[in-house]
Chain A
Amino acid sequence: MNNLMIKLMLICMVSMVTATVYADPEKDKQLLTDFFKARFAGVPLQEFANGSYAYDTIGRASWEAIEEFPPYEIAVDEGEAMWETPFANGKSYQDCFPDGPAIGHKYPHWDDKQGKVVTMALAINQCREANGEKPLKYKKGSINNILSYVSFLSRGKKTQVVIPENNKDAMAAYEDGKKFFFTRRGQLNFSCATCHIQNAGMKIRSEVLSPALGQTTHFPVYRSKWGAVGTLHRRFTGCNKQVRAKPFKAQGEQYRNLEYFLTYMSNGLELNGPGARK
């Protein structure tokens, strides 16, 4: 009986602590979801994975036309070739990622041993370097091919970022990313939230602002403006420059933590990358 009592008490205590640890991110996600449900009544939740095309009917029409001959197809094919080609030492990506390549939904995640958020891009380069290969650049170039391949094969998998229970460091990374998102920066004094929550759906000149909800499901993304596929951190860089803030390092701590927070906000939404955008 005593043993059972102790076990019950322990369970109560643990669940109280975990309840505290999980309370905020889930609350954040709920607030964000409620906001978008209210602003865009009638739009199914999964549609937000299509960005502004969830509510910009004119933009959506051109996008659907583009998707008939997806501009990211070549990247996916080249990514497949990369995945299948062994490294000089005979090993391959499959050895680093035995569950791969459909593993997009497993990133980003908190890596306790490394004490940081690990993104898909970071993991790819860590795999390369562990096998004597040169790391790839994080914004442009061939990393987008292998990311497109992983992303394409991961379509349909649900976003499921986990903040490990009772892990202060992981929670701190989430909070850091969240703070980044809501902090005004640059000479133009905008936060990510200014455009992607507060003014989502409005037009800045002729561009319809996309929602923060669903923002990470479709990366890497082919942008007509780039004429190429680019990474999430490339887009972070561009956005920061546009508000006249000095951008941070791609795959540096700020952007990885931001990715951690932002992806958590899309938990439950199906991955649908690579995407195609203006």
Chain B
Amino acid sequence: MIRKSKRLLSMTGALFIAASLPTSVTLAEASGSNIEEGKKLAFTRSKGNCLACHMIKGGDSPGTIAPPLLMMKSRFPDKKVLKAQVWDASKRNPETSMPLFGRYEILTEDEVDKVVDFIHSL
């Protein structure tokens, strides 16, 4: 009787620990899946809708309001600076035409990170 309950307890304990482990791990390097999901978010009208203003490889009928997104690693060597721009473009330019994707929660932080991973890869 006692041995059975001990086994049950240790199994439950192990399951509990496993369940409480973080489901996503933030990597310094963008994972392939992040870039793919970021691209989807960037190209979705109700999400990033980046093509409204930016030319992006792989997207058609881009707008011409803003600079084309290419050579991003040389333009934004520090990914954090790119994230800050996507988060709140008004910080760099108070007269910006770019929505404040992070600050006004158009995208969640997780979504912003994915979009940034995608854009940085261009």
> Real complex partners, A and B?
yes
> Measuring CB to CB, which residues of chain A are less than 8 angstroms from any residue of chain B?
187-190, 194, 198-199, 202-206
Contacts A/B (CB < 8 Å), 12 sampled: A187-B99, A187-B104, A187-B106, A189-B104, A194-B97, A198-B97, A199-B97, A204-B52, A204-B53, A205-B51, A205-B52, A205-B62
Known contacts A188-B106, A198-B95; A203 and B64 CB within 8 A of each other: yes
Cα A189 to Cα B90 with chains together (Å) = 10
CB-contact partner of B65 in A187, A188, A189, A202, under 8 A = A202
Beta-carbon contacts under 8 Å, B50-72 to A? 51-53, 61-65
* Interface flag for B100 (CB, 8 Å): yes
Cα A205 to Cα B106 with chains together (Å) = 19
Residues of A within 8 A of B100 (CB): 189
On chain B, the number of residues with a Cβ less than 8 Å from chain A's Cβ atoms is 15
For the A-B complex, the count of residue pairs with Cβ-Cβ distances under 8 Å equals 33
Chain B: CB-nearest residue to A244: B106
Cα A187 to Cα B46 with chains together (Å) = 12
Residues of B within 8 A of A205 (CB): 51-52, 61-63
CB-contact partner of B63 in A187, A194, A203, under 8 A = A203
Dominant secondary structure of chain A at its interface with chain B: loop
Min CB distance B98 to A, Å, is: 9
Min CB distance B62 to A, Å, is: 7
Residues of B within 8 A of A203 (CB): 63-65
CB-contact partner of B61 in A189, A190, A206, under 8 A = A206
Cα A198 to Cα B97 with chains together (Å) = 8
Chain B 96-110 per-residue mask, 1 if CB under 8 angstroms from chain A, else 0: 010110001010000
Is the CB–CB distance between A202 and B99 below 8 Å? no
Is the CB–CB distance between A188 and B99 below 8 Å? yes
Min CB distance B27 to A, Å, is: 30
Chain B: CB-nearest residue to A184: B90
Min CB distance A35 to B, Å, is: 14
Cα A189 to Cα B65 with chains together (Å) = 15
